[in-house]
Structure 1
Amino acid sequence: MEIRLLTSKDAKTYWTLRLEALKNHSEAFLSSYEESVQRENPVEQTARNFTAKGNYTFGAFAKGELIGMVTLLQEERIKVRHKANIFAMYVTPSKRGIGAGKALLTAAINKARDLSEVEQINLNVTASNHSAKQLYANLGFKQFGLEKKALKINEKYYDDAYMVLHLKKEK
Structure 2
Amino acid sequence: MEIKLLTATDAENYWNLRLEALKQCPEAFATSYEEAISRKNPIEQVAQNLDVKGNYTFGAFENNTLMGMVTLMKERHQKLQHRANIFAMYVTPKKQGKGIGKSLLQEVIETAKLTDEIEKLNLTVVKTNKKAKQLYSTLGFQTFGLEEKALKINGSYYDEEYMALVIK
TM-score higher than 0.5 here? yes
Scaled to the shorter chain, the TM-score interval is over 0.9
Residue 90 of structure 1 corresponds to 90
Instruction: Tell me the amino acid that sits aligned with residue 90 of structure 1.
Output: Y
Instruction: Tell me the amino acid that sits aligned with residue 77 of structure 1.
Output: H
Residue 16 of structure 1 corresponds to 16
Deviation at 1:90, TM superposition (A): 0.0
Matched, 1:108 2:99: no
Deviation at 1:98, TM superposition (A): 1.1
Alignment partner of 2:39: what SS? Answer: coil
Deviation at 1:53, TM superposition (A): 1.1
Q: TM-score, normalised by structure 2?
A: 0.99
Matched, 1:153 2:134: no
In structure 2, C-alpha distance between the alignment counterparts of 1:156 and 1:167, rounded to whole Å? 35
| Unaligned segments of structure 1, at least 5 residues | none
Moved over 3 A (4+): none
Superposition map of 1:28-107 within 5 A? 28-107=28-107
In structure 2, C-alpha distance between the alignment counterparts of 1:65 and 1:97, rounded to whole Å? 17
In structure 1, C-alpha distance between the alignment counterparts of 2:43 and 2:145, rounded to whole Å? 34
Deviation at 1:97, TM superposition (A): 1.2
In structure 1, C-alpha distance between the alignment counterparts of 2:50 and 2:157, rounded to whole Å? 32
Which deviations, in whole Å up to 9, do the C-alpha atoms of 1:129-161 show, x marking residues without a partner?
A: 000000000000000001000000000000000
Q: TM-score, normalised by structure 1?
A: 0.97
**What value does the CA root-mean-square deviation take over the aligned residues?**
0.5
- Matched residue count: 168
Alignment partner of 2:76: what SS? Answer: coil
Deviation at 1:77, TM superposition (A): 0.8
Alignment partner of 1:9: what SS? Answer: helix
Deviation at 1:63, TM superposition (A): 1.5
In structure 2, C-alpha distance between the alignment counterparts of 1:28 and 1:50, rounded to whole Å? 21
